[in-house]
């Protein structure tokens, strides 16, 4: 980080660190490492204002207020590093855009919503298109830029309680060995802790968030899994998913296999419970079903996964609040919407989410 950005980040962090802890948490504040061993069952949504550089708008306080009104307490902000990074100098950052992230952190504090910052596109890696020119898992320069990004955020938010803010390193690593991924995650975590030793750090599982990484179990960070299984149900007719599947049902029969709640427990709960038994907190960072899947199928499937996660003691974040996977403005054709504050509300989905 260059000196100009370091000083600005330090000043921003000093102002934010002056905030008082939430009264309900002040008496039993936990360190980031404490929280990483057993995460609270935070529940909420992903907000996409900086999901890619083509959007890059400010986050909306109304989203935070609405989540709190409905009883939710978590927001994940999947972001594209290009939103604030100079295209000519990867170590120079746009303060105006970073202040919009500061504002989101402040909205979280004001409304009692935990904020988790995530690099959905990081230097050297993304699940989106176009691909990055560098390779985060192989190139030293990509790792240096990645470390610098997180060191900047570590400096910027130093002193904010981890009950209110976490860092989710990189979205859905894939096509990389656990060992290579763990090496990158350890180094980025060290860069954060050099600036802010007490920050709660989260790493996504490998294989697009689906596989726990036991190689990171001793690091004192939490891990984030996904809730997109079965994929042909959650991504039916999604243009980017590439599948040409029959209309899904729930439970879903795939060849001779019946995919139901028991199948989900065996394949996508039990491996993560083994990781949790090693002292690693688990959270479902993304989940939901695209708006082309029949609504009644989605609701039956959602009830089963929500039941499983409640039994496991895990929190979750729907992708998204407003949009094709969420309860607001989803564009589903088989829903009778309720007009709600200039939005179209899927009341059945919302009521189901609020039950869990």
Measuring CA to CA, which residue among 5, 44, 30 is closest to residue 281? 30
How many domains is the chain built from?
Answer: 1
The answer as to whether 319 is a domain residue is: no
273-326: per-residue pLDDT in tens?
Answer: 999 999 999 999 999 999 999 999 999 999 999 999 999 999 999 999 999 999
The whole domain housing 172 covers 3-16+32-290
The answer as to whether 316 is a domain residue is: no
Mean pLDDT for the stretch of residues 196-219: 98
Asked whether the predicted pLDDT for residue 227 surpasses 50, the reply is: yes
The answer as to whether 149 is a domain residue is: yes
The answer as to whether 265 is a domain residue is: yes
- DSSP H stretches of helix in the chain: 3-17, 23-26, 32-37, 61-70, 95-111, 140-156, 178-195, 206-209, 231-234, 261-264, 270-276, 295-312, 347-355
pLDDT attached to residue 131: 97
The answer as to whether 336 is a domain residue is: no
pLDDT attached to residue 30: 85
pLDDT bucket at 12, cuts 50 / 70 / 90:
low
pLDDT attached to residue 1: 52
CA distance 293 to 89: 43
DSSP symbol at 165: E
The answer as to whether 304 is a domain residue is: no
Question: Residue 251 maps to which CATH number?
Answer: 3.20.20.80
Cis check: omega of the bond before 107, within 30 degrees of 0: no
DSSP symbol at 93: B
Mean pLDDT for the stretch of residues 323-346: 98
CA angle 126, 77, 196 (to 5 degrees): 95
The answer as to whether 202 is a domain residue is: yes
Q: CA 60: distance to chain centroid?
A: 17
Q: Which of 25-29, 32-36, 298-302, 330-334 has the lowest mean pLDDT?
A: 25-29
CA distance 137 to 65: 38
The answer as to whether 354 is a domain residue is: no
Q: What is the mean pLDDT of the chain?
A: 93
Which residue reads 């100098």 in tokens?
A: 89
pLDDT attached to residue 205: 98
Does 13 or 213 have the greater pLDDT score? Answer: 213
Mean pLDDT for the stretch of residues 65-87: 98
């Amino acid at each position: 980080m260059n000196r100009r950005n370091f000083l600005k980040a330090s000043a921003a962090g000093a102002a934010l660190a002056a905030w008082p802890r939430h009264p309900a948490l002040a008496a039993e504040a936990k360190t980031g490492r404490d929280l990483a061993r057993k995460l609270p069952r935070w529940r909420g949504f992903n907000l996409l204002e900086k999901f890619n550089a083509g959007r890059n708008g400010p986050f909306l306080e109304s989203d935070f207020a609405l989540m709190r009104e409905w009883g939710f307490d978590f927001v994940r902000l999947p972001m594209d590093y290009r939103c604030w990074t100079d295209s000519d100098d990867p170590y120079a950052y746009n303060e105006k855009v970073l202040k919009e992230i500061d504002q989101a952190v402040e909205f979280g504090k004001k409304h009692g919503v935990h904020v988790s910052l995530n690099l959905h596109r990081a230097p050297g890696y993304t699940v989106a298109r176009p691909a990055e020119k560098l390779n985060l898992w192989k190139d030293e320069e990509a790792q240096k830029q990645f470390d610098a990004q997180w060191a900047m955020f570590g400096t910027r938010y130093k002193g904010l309680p981890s009950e209110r803010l976490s860092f989710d390193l990189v979205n859905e690593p894939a096509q990389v060995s656990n060992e290579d991924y763990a090496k990158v995650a350890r180094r980025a975590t060290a860069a954060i802790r050099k600036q802010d030793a007490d920050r709660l750090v989260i790493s996504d599982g490998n294989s697009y968030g689906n596989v726990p990484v036991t190689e990171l179990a001793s690091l004192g960070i939490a891990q984030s899994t996904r809730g997109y299984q079965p994929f042909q149900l959650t991504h039916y007719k999604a243009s980017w998913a590439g599948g040409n599947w029959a209309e899904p049902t729930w439970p879903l029969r795939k060849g001779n296999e019946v995919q139901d709640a028991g199948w989900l427990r065996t394949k996508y709960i039990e491996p993560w419970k083994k990781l949790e038994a090693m002292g690693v907190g688990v959270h479902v960072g993304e989940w939901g079903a695209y708006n082309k899947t029949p609504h009644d199928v989605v609701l039956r499937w959602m009830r089963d996964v929500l039941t499983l996660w409640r039994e496991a003691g895990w929190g979750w974040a729907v992708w998204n609040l407003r949009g094709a996977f969420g309860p607001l403005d989803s564009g589903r054709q088989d829903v009778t919407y309720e007009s709600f504050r200039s939005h179209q509300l899927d009341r059945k989905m919302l009521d189901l989410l609020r039950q869990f």
